[in-house]
Chain A
Amino acid sequence: MDFGLATISGLPGVAAAALAARRIVSAQAIRRHPRAARLVGLTAALLIGGACHSIDENAFAHNPVPLAKLAFHEPIAFTGGAADGQVVPLQPGLLASYLAGAQYDRLDHQQIDANVNFVWDATGNPVISAPDGTDHNDGDFRLPDSWGIWSVVWEGYLLAPTEGTYVLRIHVNNGGWLEMKDPSGSLTTVINCAGGTGFEGDCDANVAFSAGPQYIRFSYFNNAPPSANAILSWQTPGSSSVEVVPTNALCTQSTASCSAPKRAFMFVHGINGDSANRSIFQLLLKPLEDRYGEVNVRRFPYFQDRAFKTDSGCLGGRSALIPADAHGLPINTSPSSLASDVCDSESNVGLDAILLDQDIQTLHRDTGAPVTLICNSMGCAIVRAYLAYSVAANPTAAPVVDNIFFLQGAQQGSWLDWGSTGLQGLSDSANPLDRLTNTLVSENARRLVGFDPNRPAFEDLRPLSPTYRFVNPDVAHVPDAIGYFNVASDIRWKIDMGILGTRFVRNPVESNGSFGDYVMLPGPEDPTRLDVLGGERFDASTIGRGRDNLEWTLRKDFVVKIETYVVLLPILAIPDQDWTYPTPPLVPDPFALAESHFQLGSKMHEITTQRDRRTGLTAPLDELILNEIYRQDP
């Protein structure tokens, strides 16, 4: 950004008022409105000619608002009050901080102003609440009995439509400063229009910057009647006139377009709260907060978090609220075995599903926006339970969920993780099995089930069925099932080792090795039962990493059994495989019901979160996910 010379006029202080008025007239860069000229003249005459009243001592701002008074940070957040610290929702306009006194003395209130184009009648106190921020005539009959003295700081982003040199102009009565960010990111004054009691005029700066959002902070003060003016104008490259910056060129947050629709998001993290701390979710959630407003992006605390108010490492801190009404569903709402020192190590899917339903309703009520669910791992089991539960509990309620993103991935450090990351650490000695067999099994299994390590990363993001289809029954179609296995956890292996016909089971004590994360999916455990949540599945239960998967049944369209085959190194051919596909149960599918109820269709996205094969980072995925979310903006 190239800051041009800001031409300024006006000297602070009563004594300088008349001089200032003359300079206003003579300075080329200062354009005085006819009305403003009259006001300035009147004020100057009153103050110099009469000189029987003086503005309260030090009632001038001499600089932009100090950072200690109004901190600068991005994204722009509210200061003070109930919304203190909350990020200002993305919307056209600027955040305006109205302060009593000319020296930013007391923050009176904050609001979003559509733009800066104000001409106030300053004979009263039109903007600041009493009692402070007023001055009195002290018996000078030529002045109003009292008038307001206030200052305002507008901050936000100027949305530059194109790269080039802009004329920026502030018109003030009585003084103002325009700050922008320098290359280091610190604020620097580009227009110094300190003005004074009798001042009204324009101050310009020529500033070159690139297209896109440009942070601006406009500090302004008024300390004298009869009028107060604050106008922010610009002349865009190629334009022949200076115009008031329109609302659609101002935004409360840094964004290329300030017309993003209002949406709300609920993030349901995985067990142990760890997903909240992983980079992908920070990379994912922060841009959402910036775009849609922090208040519109909420985290779902598990019941256990609420029960123990475990803030650290988890997302809780709220009181425990066990739902009183499970709507007749076979959900045991008694808490599961709770461990106060382990965050979300155990939880109750059914209980959390009810709480999630409540939270979603609250979020929708608070925001009036459709709710997009983003879940990870165990959190997705809760979301699935919520879907089923919500249909049963609120069969006539209008659907409020418009999108669901299932972020499923390999548990870090798990076999699936190693397998999915390909080159990374497959043979790590820290793995529970020795590297050779580990490698063989992982390599074979991921190929068997359709994981293509060579697929383009964007194929990680592909809308799939709202339900799991782990493996397509037609082997020829396995490529269509890319990623299915990544979202599952329940593949396990049994390794038989033979010595001339005598069979040995590798790891007979732990005869089956888990292949990945545990993702518990609600569903019809017993297909003859029509319980919407699958009957016993939703009894109060504990789910935790390390529990044997045998306790759980994944809902899936096909149960796949990968039988004996012979490994060929380098593990590229599969000469013998046995796929069996039990007939899917012919019972109402709660997820089909949920899908129909929510009319989600293809807006349910299964997204794998395993790290990029080569870089080991998840960063590319967050962009893909965000783009998909943005694409869903109405």
Chain B
Amino acid sequence: MNRLTPLIVLSLSIGIVTGAASSSSALGAPQPSRVLVFEDGSGLRLTIQAEPAARDAGAFTLRVPGTGTFIAVTGATLAVESAQSTNVSYDGPVDLVSAQGTSTRVTARLQAHLDAPHHMGEATLTTATDRFHLVAHPASRAGLDPVLRSFEAAMPAGDWSAIYAIASSDFTSSYTAEAFAATARAQAGTVGTVVLLRRVQTGDVQTSPLGFGYVVVSYEVRRSVGGVISTSSDNVYFLFENGAWRLWFTVTQ
């Protein structure tokens, strides 16, 4: 069967992270937006439009594992005291959407305090029957250094099994360790091998507006392709995932 290419392929290279807070899309006039996500270790997650000038200012959801997601019917009140301090209050109807998709309207009260620059937040949502309390802190740097050392040792050695051991779930959910290594080896002829990896700079722990922590580490990378040595600068992203630092992806500068 002769086909036109039917699908729209979105080939995505996951790359750099910046901290821009307002929209600048290809759609034309930017819409003010500052959607923040705060999550604690228990899985409680508050997503909120924290930009007072946004059309949906104060819109929020609170995901509660095992219960569902509370979705505010209207926007909460945002009281911006300073760049580091925003008080959020809401008292009104929310839709509780279960994992099965059923929706129930209840009345709930939300009190929250957000520190957007440091991505810290505390929120309490109270309904007639339940009370949920979330305390979100930025990711800690603890545990990062051993992962960096493993990465720096494994790459020049071509030890893809060791890389796999520190890789994020993006890789581990897509490949077995063996398939991962085989995929890498298959590209060695064209990509070459890393012969030197020199750490240039380790960035601070950052928390994205979507609530996950990451660190950007800059490397000087020297590789050999067919006996030809080349040097590049690469940023390597490490992601704080499920309580541990993991190799996320790299971007050549």
Contacts and interface: CB of A to CB of B under 8 A. Distances in A.
A616 B13 contact: no
B69 A500 contact: no
Contact of B97 (A470, A525, A616): A616
Contacts of B9: 492-494, 512, 561-563
Given A424-B69, A500-B234, A569-B210, A562 B27 contact: no
B72 to A, nearest CB: 7
Interface string B1-26: 11111111111111111111111111
Interface stretch (B80-88, B128-136, B178-186): B178-186
B26 A549 contact: no
B4 to A, nearest CB: 5
Given A566-B251, A616-B97, A549 B71 contact: no
Contacts of A493: 9-12
Interface in B193-229: 194, 208-210, 212, 221, 223
Contacts of B101: 412-413
Contact of A501 (B33, B47, B73, B191): B191
A506 B6 contact: no
Contacts, number: 242
Select the residue from A428, A434, A497, A582 with max chain B CB neighbours within 10 A.
A497
A615 B94 CA distance: 8
Contacts of B155: 500
Contacts of B74: 614
A424 B17 contact: no
A131 interface: no
A573 B55 CA distance: 20
Contact of B27 (A478, A492, A504, A565): A478
Interface stretch (A36-44, A233-241, A289-297, A443-451): A443-451
A35 interface: no
Contacts of B55: 454
Interface in B20-42: 20-28, 31, 33, 35, 37
B7 A500 contact: no
A536 B249 contact: no
A238 to B, nearest CB: 41
Contact of B14 (A501, A553, A567): A567
A397 interface: no
Contacts of A452: 25, 27, 31
B174 A560 contact: no
Interface in A495-539: 495-509, 512, 515, 525-527, 536
Nearest to B25: A447
Given A436-B239, A441-B10, A448 B249 contact: no
B154 to A, nearest CB: 10
B115 interface: no
A552 interface: yes
B116 to A, nearest CB: 12
A512 B174 CA distance: 12
Contacts of A502: 183-184, 187, 191
Interface of B: 1-28, 31, 33, 35, 37, 43, 45, 47, 49, 54-56, 59-61, 63, 69, 71-75, 95, 97, 99, 101, 103, 155, 163, 169-171, 173-175, 179-180, 183-184, 187, 191-192, 194, 208-210, 212, 221, 223, 234, 236, 239, 241, 247, 249-252
Given A492-B9, A574-B26, 7 more contacts: A424-B69, A454-B33, A508-B175, A527-B4, A554-B6, A569-B209, A616-B103
Interface of A: 412-413, 422-430, 433-434, 436-437, 439-441, 444-445, 447-448, 450, 452, 454, 470, 475, 478-479, 490-509, 512, 515, 525-527, 536, 549-550, 552-554, 559-570, 572-574, 577, 582, 613-617
